[in-house]
Amino acid sequence: MTWARHSSRPDPAEDQSRMAGVRAEEEVRLTLQNGRAARTVAGHASDALDCAELLAMLGLEGVQKKHAQRT
């Protein structure tokens, strides 16, 4: 059995660009997911302190700050 060799190798710059795109898409998806989670927590919290504590427990305390900066 013979092995076929591919004469063209992937371009490292193209590979880096593709990975950067994937990372950017993942960051957007994660930001949306964390925002939904924060809104859900806020809707079920009894007061602002409870909300802040729950968000901190879930590691979502930065979501509140990012959302406040946008509005």
**Domain boundaries along the sequence of the chain:** 17-70
Q: pTM here?
A: 0.63
Per residue in 13-70, pLDDT (tens digit) is 788 888 999 999 999 999 999 999 999 999 999 999 999 999 999 999 876 555 555 5
**Residue 16 to residue 26: CA distance in whole angstroms:** 15
**Cβ–Cβ < 8 Å for 52, 60:** no
HEC assignment per residue over 6-30: CCCCCCHHHHHHHHHHHHHHHHHHH
Q: Which residue has the tokens 């593709």?
A: 18
pLDDT of residue 14: 81
**Residue 6 to residue 53: CA distance in whole angstroms:** 56
